[in-house]
Amino acid sequence: MRALWVLHFPVYGGPHNTAVGVREPLADLGWKTVAALTDEPGNAEQRLTEGGLETVTMPLHRLRASWHPRDNLRTAAAFRGEVRALEQLIRARSCDLVVLTGLMNPHGAIAARRAGVPVVWQVLDTRTPPVPRLAAMALVRRWADSVMFTGHAVEDLHVGGRPLNVPSFQFTGGVDLQRFCPDPEMRTETRRRFGVPDDALFVGTVANLNPMKGIEYFIRTASRVFKENPGSWFLINGSTYATHRAYTAALHREAEASGVPSERFIWTGGLPQNHYPALDVSLITSRPRSEGISTTASESLACEVPVVATDVGSVREVVRNGVTGVVVPPDSPEALARETLRLGADSALRRRLGQAGRQEVAEHHSIEATASVCDRAFRAALQRPSTIRAGTEPVRQTGGGPAR
């Protein structure tokens, strides 16, 4: 069976990472993964191809968080043609179902309906404002044959008091525990490569440079941590966007004004599995109305690096406060710095949280667990003909992710 994942974003991120991660375990369960990717400039095509995915690039516009009419008029003008192109791809590759990776771009759902194949709709974050969220969820209710949410909090936000009449599942991005693991040799090698002393407090964040990730709050936290611990170092590991050049420039200006010496900020786009083991604390500084569950939380914990995260989306369903890390209010560099310094000063606490974190990931957030949820969601969609979509009893299923 063949599943077509529709990816509207050109910069490699969570949805791409999930598609790559589940490719092999899904193949063992009888699924071949194909990706339809926007042809905009970015690093996603290279990363998907390196990850072994059959990838087809094509024009795929997306709705943008912009008040300028020009930005979304282009999406509207191209919509019908891109739906037809997706329908042709579904037919040409004999796809058995379509996976939509995000709430606000229904191209793949319409194409799937035209081609007569089921739709699995992944709702990934909390970014969409209330009014367009309600409108988009009306389409999900109409066209989806199963829905996957990144955690119960994300599902509750989108579903509210109206249960879906299709099966729903909760999942996380999933982590390969062989690739993401504690590695003392890698810790030493990475610190030596970056010039970070073995005994220095090393704090990092892994996130693409876009405003919802709140990287400016990481920099403001670093400023406060450095004032209390002048020996500390800071890592920002993430890709840049052509559409967020101004934001990236503003981040660098903020870093220059932070009081932290420029050499203490390490900016890199390298593979994060080589960087996590070198860190003492991993920060997630996402803004309100942003995340579902950041994959970096599970990746950090798999490497036994405790996490300090802002309380957004379903993040606390992975970062269990006081058990695998600490959850603080969003938009509060004071709280982020306070907890970072507390963990930085207590190696025994970091070790305890880190070990509990790896156990948490092994039990609930492994790539095998995510693939299992995908398989169940896919098969539920296949078993649900479109002719019975209306009027069925609501089904709510959990597994493999942040279910408790």
Tell me the two tokens of residue 263.
Answer: 């050499």
- Helices 107-115 and 130-143, packing angle to 10 deg: 10
Edge-to-edge strands, sheet with 146-149: 54-58, 32-38, 2-7, 97-101, 119-123, 146-149, 167-170, 395-396
Q: Is the pTM of this model over 0.85?
A: yes
Q: What angle do CA 298, 299, 302 make, to 5 degrees?
A: 85
Question: 377 exposed, middle or buried (CB, 10 Å; 0-12, 13-18, 19+)?
Answer: buried
Tell me the two tokens of residue 366.
Answer: 């492994």
In angstroms, the CA 296 to CA 205 distance is 8
Q: Which residue has the tokens 């900020």?
A: 265
Residue ranges in the chain whose pLDDT is less than 50: 387-404
Residue type, 76: A
User: Tell me, what's the pLDDT at 244?
Assistant: 85
Of residues 361, 217, 191, the one with CA closest to residue 280: 191
Q: pLDDT tens-digit profile of 306-343?
A: 999 999 999 999 999 999 999 999 999 999 999 999 99
In angstroms, the CA 331 to CA 152 distance is 23
If DSSP codes are grouped into helix, strand and coil, which group holds residue 140? helix
Q: CB-based contacts of 69: which residues, under 8 Å, 6+ apart?
A: none
- Mean pLDDT for the chain overall: 93
Count the Cβ atoms, other than its own, within 10 Å of residue 212: 18
In angstroms, the CA 263 to CA 271 distance is 20
Ordered structural domains, the chain, with CATH: 2-174+367-396 (3.40.50.2000), 184-364 (3.40.50.2000)
Q: pLDDT tens-digit profile of 91-139?
A: 999 999 999 999 999 999 999 999 999 999 999 999 999 999 999 999 9
User: Tell me, what's the pLDDT at 391?
Assistant: 33
